Structure 1
Amino acid sequence: MNKADSERMAGILERMGYKQAEEELQADLVLYNTCTIRDNAEQKVYSYLGRQALRKKLFPQLKLIVAGCVAQQEGESLLRRVPELDLVMGPQHANRLETLLNKVETGQQVLATEELYIIEDLTTARRDSSICAWVNVIYGCNERCTYCVVPSVRGKEQSRTPPAIKREIENLANTGFKEVTLLGQNIDAYGRDLPGTTPQGRKKNTLTDLLYYIHDIEGIERIRFATSHPRYFTSRLIEACAELPKVCEHFHIPFQSGDDEILNQMRRGYKIKTYKKIIGRIRELMPNASITADVIVAFPGETNEQFQRSLSLVEEIGFDQLNTAAYSPRPNTPAALWPNQIPEEIKIERLRKLNSLVEIKAKERNVRYKDRVEEVLAENTNPKDKQQLMGRTRTNRLTFFPKVDNQGNSYKPGDLVKVRVKDIRAFSLSGVIEN
């Protein structure tokens, strides 16, 4: 979500006539797009700002901006802490960057953190890739997980309309993009704030309906989506993914804890039995599907037995990859105020054990690719070996392969290439082009 926001804001700046500076400390406008999901990300912001504040004393015309979730969370207190800032703007204001900068030009110090309806103008993004694109389909989150700061910084759910999403994807296809990833903080909630029901009484604009609606856009070869919530991940959605050829067999479904009592305290709204049922149905219909997830260790009050249940779930399911984190208290969340916080040394030890298991299971999962032919969408040249391309399988495995096959045919970014996998690692593959 933050990467997509950054691309949109970069596009607005380019439209205004700005060019990207080679060095951060040479730029005459610096914008930090921030994350507050964990404390260490937030602390980095203040470190960067300290350097820029010193610069501004010598270079008063420097424009200094903090955007994103830290801006939304801290608001006016951020201006008090770093008075050199010109603009503090929450994520809902990303599309208003030009308007807000015009206010700065008049000499104002601007704070934009009020909740508002997101303006529908996403066609100006400066994409980091010319092959794969992020497409926001729903903003915000209405869940109230006890550890999570997202709803308070990204606001209420706001779904874009299907025609607006389709227009954006058609424009991407017309400019050569081959893959889109539909984005939402809770993407399975897409459409529940849009009007309309079917004759059968279900919501008319669900994520499943959206996948069918955009599937046949000419030029788009692959469709992905993230991030899912087990509470809303339906059998109908799984069946649609199995049925629609362009939808990739990769599912990112956070489970957060392997213990039902911890899930209840997190206010996640499902049990591990439900989670296992979802994974079972995916693997029944798509046996080679890749499953990735998020998990938190050392949530307040987590016992060693409860932590072991998370390890057991990782062992049992065999995830292709996991985003792991030790619990980090966040402002304005219930769990941050609970007295049963876990000591730092236990957090570190549990995270170490989990990461060790994750790497083992990831490599075990990768064994299935050995000597198999996989369809890889070439995305770029390997920066460490200019004779290689790098891209991802449909299951989202990073794969390296030569630019030229054994018959002398050359390949380039944007090509769909059949690659026979020869080498496997925990988090990537290498292979040769299969003629």
Structure 2
Amino acid sequence: MAQQEGAQLLRRVPELDLVMGPQHANRLEDLLEEVFSGNQVVATEPVHIMEDITKPRRDSTMTAWVNVIYGCNERCTYCVVPGVRGVEQSRTPEAIRAEMEQLGSQGYKEVTLLGQNIDAYGRDLPGITPEGRHQNTLTDLLYFVHDVPGIERIRFATSHPRYFTERLIRACAELPKVCEHFHIPFQSGDNEILKAMARGYTHEKYRRIIDTIRRYTPDAAISADAIVGFPGETEAQFENTLKLVEDIGFDQLNTAAYSPRPGTPAALWQNQLSETVKSDRLQRLNHLVATKAMERSQRYRDRIEEILVEDQNPKDPTQVMGRTRSNRLTFFPGNINELNGNLVPVRITEVRPFSLTGEVLS
């Protein structure tokens, strides 16, 4: 909001003192001094990232997010992020490892490496191998941070199909700490809609990526994002999305009906769909998602899964909850004071579309 509106916010809401973009978080003290001096302040101009920028909030004492790349260079026609978060800026591998080492020493067990387009990590960093390959890729980063003491699990998000490589998939299969879970948004199963979205790939390429993942890691969980009701989407094009979901069988799918975002090309197009059509398609997609997720859940029944205990079940204080390596939420009886932060073997006794129940093995 600050990046998008800037000084216009001060004109619309004159009682505001300060409008600040996220990349200025480490300047807050100086900016407040200007406010205390009687000025209205706008700090939204692009700046290069600095390593003393405020660290992300830790909602858990066991799992943490670590930003590895800021901004986005993509120009998806429905998305406002590139315009408000600026160009891609990667942190150095050394800075990322140092933050992970600190987290490991503080007792964190799981880290998710985070970026708006994480597969683009390192494109803006120097370094070429003798073979001519860029040596600061996400794959290289995974190898570089894999042995950080105390960190037992590593995840990463969010991926872009345009940059998802077989080398990255092979690294995930080779590195024991990298979890068997891939979040790769596809947004639409129709090539014409993907072209209108400016996504830069086809549904055939997306399917090849999933096939490659399942060749290296057959049991991997696949999650994604999808948009229905994009401007101009026909019923036949929507059914191509349904077909992709039916064929792949996602473990989880974040779905949304398209909504116009100010400042994006698609918001200005005349071929917008009605809310009734968008709502109908969203309901149909969600029904299929739940059906396929339930089918995928069946493979967990009677299996022993390693669960990282994160919290007490808020609906049942006799249970604790955590996640499998494949990111499936799991509940089982236990004392949170005894089990919090532990990796516990659990036999799965009950499966649902998006969560599991089990019992601890002695």
TM bucket normalised to smaller: over 0.9
Letter in 1 for 2:113: L
Which stretch shows the higher mean deviation, 205-214 or 126-135?
126-135
For residues 221-300 of structure 1, the aligned pairs below 5 Å read 221-300=152-231
- 1:178-205, CA deviations, whole angstroms, 9 ceiling, x for partnerless residues? 0100000000000000011001101110
Residue 90 (structure 2) pairs with residue 159 (structure 1) = yes
Within the candidate set 209, 215, 225, 2:140 is matched to 209
Aligned equivalents of 2:139, 2:188: Cα separation in 1: 27
Residues 109 and 338 of structure 1: is their aligned pair in 2 closer, same or farther, counting only changes over 3 Å?
Answer: same
For residues 325-364 of structure 1, the aligned pairs below 5 Å read 325-364=256-295
- Tell me the residue number matched to 2:343: 416
- Tell me the residue number matched to 1:119: 50
> What SS does the aligned partner of 2:318 have?
strand
Within the candidate set 121, 131, 152, 1:200 is matched to 131
Quote the offset at 1:288 in angstroms.
1.0
RMSD of aligned residue pairs (Cα, Å): 1.4
> What SS does the aligned partner of 1:386 have?
coil
Quote the offset at 1:123 in angstroms.
6.8
Letter in 1 for 2:97: K
Letter in 2 for 1:107: G
Quote the offset at 1:421 in angstroms.
0.7
Aligned equivalents of 2:289, 2:273: Cα separation in 1: 22
Task: Report if the CA contact (8 A) 1:122-1:168 is conserved.
Answer: no
For residues 30-429 of structure 1, the aligned pairs below 5 Å read 70-122=1-53, 124-403=55-334, 411-429=338-356
Residues 400 and 127 of structure 1: is their aligned pair in 2 closer, same or farther, counting only changes over 3 Å?
Answer: same
Residue 328 (structure 2) pairs with residue 433 (structure 1) = no
Residues 363 and 353 of structure 1: is their aligned pair in 2 closer, same or farther, counting only changes over 3 Å?
Answer: same
Aligned equivalents of 2:343, 2:29: Cα separation in 1: 38
> What SS does the aligned partner of 1:200 have?
coil
> What SS does the aligned partner of 1:375 have?
strand
Quote the offset at 1:127 in angstroms.
1.6
Matched residue count: 362
Aligned equivalents of 2:183, 2:285: Cα separation in 1: 18
Unaligned runs of 5+ in 1: 1-69
- 1:79-102, CA deviations, whole angstroms, 9 ceiling, x for partnerless residues? 222222222122322333333233
Aligned equivalents of 1:342, 1:123: Cα separation in 2: 41
Quote the offset at 1:124 in angstroms.
4.9
Aligned equivalents of 2:358, 2:267: Cα separation in 1: 47
Aligned equivalents of 2:225, 2:27: Cα separation in 1: 32
Task: Report if the CA contact (8 A) 2:25-2:53 is conserved.
Answer: no
Residues 403 and 270 of structure 1: is their aligned pair in 2 closer, same or farther, counting only changes over 3 Å?
Answer: same
TM-score, normalised by the number of residues in structure 2: 0.97
Counting aligned pairs with the same residue, the percent is: 69
Aligned equivalents of 1:357, 1:260: Cα separation in 2: 21
